[in-house]
Amino acid sequence: MNAPPRLLLITLSNIGDAVMTTPVLQAMHQLHPQALIDIVADRRSAALFEPCPFRGEIIIKDKKAGWRGLLSLVRRLRQRRYRLIVDLRTDGLSWLLRADQRRTKRDAQCSGPHAVERAYAVISPLLPPTPPQTCLWLTEQHHRQALERLLALPAGRDVFSLQPLGVAELAIVALAVAAWAALLMLTWRHRIVDRFLGI
């Protein structure tokens, strides 16, 4: 049996930045569903990618290791020829590696100001223009820990939660904004506030 093809994602260091690169990782998987994707990450962000079901190896890039660490990293990564390398950093590491195809920030035609759009622009010529949602892959242990912490909160305590909005919720928000804007314009045009205050 042949080994699955390998892809390489050179991701960003900070945890928040790394989360913004998960649409690129998902897009690489969509492009090559049979491939394993090796990930070059920082120690801080590596744990985010551990549960990803289609990842290969996680290779740590230690900036503090200096040029010797970089040589060791290049030597390790050159042992494998990658079908595709996507480099979201700017240090040129991908050009020292063996690959059939490379996509770097230099190739990107950025389509927007958001970090997800900037990262996705590196790979978007190969895929549909809309990036997948950001994603965190969670294990059963993560779910259990979250549930234990939620259940440990005192009853009646306020909890704040964030989640992406769906199309229906976005439509409702857009309608509310439009209605509010129309009300403000009507009030301004007819000087309702001035009349109310007697000005």
DSSP letter string, 105-161? GGG-----SSHHHHHHTTTGGGS-SSPPPP-----HHHHHHHHHHHHTSPTT-----
Write down the residue that tokens 């897009």 correspond to.
27
Identify the segments of the chain with pLDDT beneath 70.
1, 111, 162, 192-199
Same domain, 14 and 100: yes
Give which of 118, 115, 87 is closest to 103, Cα–Cα.
87
For residues 34 and 79, membership in a common domain is answered with yes
Q: Are residues 171 and 107 in the same domain?
A: no
Q: What's the count of helices (H) and strands (E) in the chain, helices before strands?
A: 8, 5
pLDDT of 81 reads: 94
Residues 107 and 22 in one domain: yes
The pLDDT of residue 79:
94
Predicted confidence at residue 194, as pLDDT, reads: 67
pLDDT over 70, % of the chain: 93
> What integer pLDDT is reported at residue 109 of this predicted model?
75
User: Same domain for 123 and 174?
Assistant: no
Beta bridge partners of 82: 99
Is residue 154 situated within a structural domain?
no
Domain count, the chain: 2
Nearest residue to 123 via CA among 105, 97, 136: 105
Q: Is 112 contained in some domain?
A: yes
Measured CA to CA, the distance from residue 117 to residue 119 in angstroms comes to 5
What's the pTM?
0.73
Same domain, residue pair 30 and 74: yes
Domain that holds residue 183: 167-197
Same domain as 88, residue 35 = yes
How would you class 138 by CB atoms within 10 Å of its CB: exposed for 0-12, middle for 13-18, buried for 19 or more?
A: exposed
pLDDT score for 146:
85
